Copies of this chain bind each other. A is one copy, B any other.
Amino acid sequence: MERKVTIKDIAKEAGVSVSLVSFVMNDSPDKEGRYRYRVNQQTRERIKGIAERMGYMPNTFARGLRGGPTLVVGAVLPDISNPFYGEISRRLEGMCAERGYTLLIGSTDENVENMKRIVNSFMSKMVDGFIIVPCEGGESVLEDVTSRKIPCVIIDRRVEGIPAPRILLDNKAVMRDAVSLLYRAKGIREIEMISYSLRVTSIMEREEGYLEVMKNLGLGSFAKVHRVDFHDTQSQTMDIMPSIIQRGTKALVFATNSLTISAIKALTSLGATIQKDIFIVGTDNSDVYDIFRPAIPHIEQPLQEICEKAMGSLFSIMDGTAPQEESEELVKGVMVFPGMKTEESLINDS
């Protein structure tokens, strides 16, 4: 591979002007075989041949500078090292690759300043669109993006008043299912919840869902939500656990998978036997749920569906098929009983 070949080299080689080459190169035979630019069929072929032979690769920067599409989309997530978001990234990356796009990933660590920094950095790289999991207080950053007319889809957390589609999990239903399972299957009433102090809608809705269902089941007096700090999950979970046990709590539900895992660690290290001394229903996805014995029932997020819907919307907006406007789509969590076929088998099993 030699030095870079530009559109100019091709033009010279073909004895035509650069614009003609540019036309040919950009011209996707837009549906129904119609070309946007009228170029002589022969010239077109000839230029394409030469470009091919010379190994022409359009320069991303020149394109980007002109304001053209960069074929890059940015994903702004809380934390790529969290397997949950790792899964999401991977799927988004795959869907992007299928269409020739590259995915840029940034981790906010639930911090608005980081979010702002990342979004700015991505915008200065002219990403064609964004997939964003907004963090607490991230409204202004989202406004910034949409006011610049940059295509954007929000996932995982509801932020209203932003002209962007959002794909969310039906979080209330998640907790409703978790609590109902414990109550119906085991008759447990002393069900408490461990959550984050983080005020993002996914968390808040899960808390609300928990409180609602507890009340509806007539267990309002047992309801209690414990909140721990996002950056100190393990040790704070450990701290609150003894009092939870002492109070005679019989079951726990959780706002996220990381909390579930921290709680499992805390409980086992305190010598409590899970699904006996204390029942738990896990939230989201984790290897741990399958491996732990007895396996831990949990409510998974339909990641593939979320990613497909999000990227689908984003691509539609980017190619002008859909308008950039506020909309909301809820997807349902799925109750999973690892290694079992039905809820009944779980109930009889443990």
Binding site for B on A (CB under 8 A): 1, 3-4, 55, 57-65, 70, 72, 79-83, 86-87, 89-91, 93-94, 97, 102-107, 117, 120-126, 144, 148, 261, 264-265, 268-269, 286-288, 290-293, 339
Report B-chain residues with C-beta under 8 Å of the C-beta of A103: 105
A117 x B89 contact (CB < 8 A): no
Within the complex, the shortest CB–CB distance from A60 to chain B, in Å, comes to 5
Q: Is the beta-carbon distance between A121 and B148 smaller than 8 angstroms?
A: no
A292 vs B287: C-alpha distance when bound (angstroms): 11
Given contacts A79-B90, A86-B86, A90-B81, contact A121 B293 (CB under 8 A): no
CB pairs A–B below 8 angstroms (25 shown): A55-B120, A57-B120, A59-B65, A60-B64, A61-B63, A61-B70, A61-B126, A72-B125, A81-B83, A81-B86, A81-B91, A82-B86, A86-B86, A89-B105, A90-B107, A93-B105, A93-B107, A94-B107, A97-B117, A102-B104, A102-B106, A261-B287, A286-B287, A291-B292, A292-B292
Contact B290 A287 (CB under 8 A): no
Contact A57 B265 (CB under 8 A): no
The smallest beta-carbon distance between A115 and chain B, in angstroms, is 12
Contact B65 A62 (CB under 8 A): yes
A57 interface neighbour in B3, B87, B123, Cβ under 8 Å: B123
